């Protein structure tokens, strides 16, 4: 998933209204933010294999530190501890849960390549990416529903608050559709480097949300 993970962050705002959306989005996308760095460092591996699933040509050869259930639980616990003093126990728990939610959504969409623990044990996955007629409407509905919930939960303080987040969500939606129907990327390195652009979106989300107040 892509916008499905963003949907988790948007919905989480309802439970942690004082936590900035940029931070919640970083939590929900932490696995995919850490992953390209580890790929470029040679710690984790991905290959281009058209037909790997119907919706993506990426073969996730090895990603134990960024995507195993055990490590994402550990990353979520670390997020809880790091944010507890600043955000309070409830908000910290919500942030930690967004981190772990990434594995759950990937488990639903990926073929059986999701590790439970690093370097050992079975890999699992329900393979929804092989059924685009189901995956696209489900993920799209998650995204639209969570966006509706976010805009019901917050209200704009000024022009930035009114337009920055809608513009970001439209941009992310366009990227999602383009990646779902576009050609395979030329190399794993291109995938990794292009994935680092996510940091721009976190800053964008932080900026827009900072100009909105709880409704």
Per residue in 171-187, pLDDT (tens digit) is 999 999 998 888 889 99
Domain residue ranges of the chain, discontinuous segments joined by +? 3-214
Q: Is 42 left (phi over 0), alpha (psi -120 to 50) or beta?
A: left
pLDDT of residue 1: 79
pLDDT of residue 120: 81
pLDDT of residue 166: 97
Is pLDDT at 72 greater than 90 in this prediction? yes
Per residue in 36-63, pLDDT (tens digit) is 999 999 999 999 999 889 999 999 999 9
Distance CA 161, CA 208 (A): 5
Q: How many angstroms separate the most distant Cα atoms in the chain?
A: 51
% pLDDT > 70, the chain? 100
3-class state of residue 94 by DSSP: helix
Per residue in 77-136, pLDDT (tens digit) is 999 999 999 999 999 999 999 999 999 999 999 999 999 999 888 999 999 999 999 999
CA torsion, points 126, 127, 132, 134, in degrees to nearest 10? Answer: -10
Whose tokens are 């940091």? That residue is 199
Check: CB of residue 172 under 8 Å from CB of residue 180: no
pLDDT of residue 181: 86
């Amino acid at each position: 998933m892509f916008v499905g993970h963003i949907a988790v962050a948007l919905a989480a705002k309802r439970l942690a209204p004082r936590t900035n959306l940029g931070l919640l989005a970083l939590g929900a996308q932490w696995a995919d933010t850490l992953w390209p760095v580890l790929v470029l460092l040679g710690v984790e591996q991905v290959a281009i294999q058209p037909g790997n699933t119907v919706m993506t040509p990426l073969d996730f050869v090895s990603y134990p530190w960024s995507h195993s259930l055990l490590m994402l639980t550990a990353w979520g616990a670390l997020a809880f501890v790091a944010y507890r003093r600043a955000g309070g126990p409830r908000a910290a728990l919500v942030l930690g849960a967004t981190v772990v939610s990434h594995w759950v959504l990937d488990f639903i969409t990926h073929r059986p390549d999701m590790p439970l623990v690093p370097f050992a044990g079975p890999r699992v996955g329900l393979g929804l990416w092989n059924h685009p007629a189901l995956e696209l409407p489900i993920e799209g509905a998650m995204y639209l529903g969570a966006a509706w919930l976010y805009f019901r939960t917050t209200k704009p303080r000024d022009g930035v608050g009114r337009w920055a987040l809608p513009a970001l969500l439209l941009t992310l939606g366009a990227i999602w559709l383009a990646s779902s129907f576009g050609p395979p990327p030329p190399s794993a390195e291109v995938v990794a480097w292009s994935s680092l652009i996510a940091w721009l979106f976190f800053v964008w989300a932080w900026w827009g949300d900072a100009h909105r107040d709880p409704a």
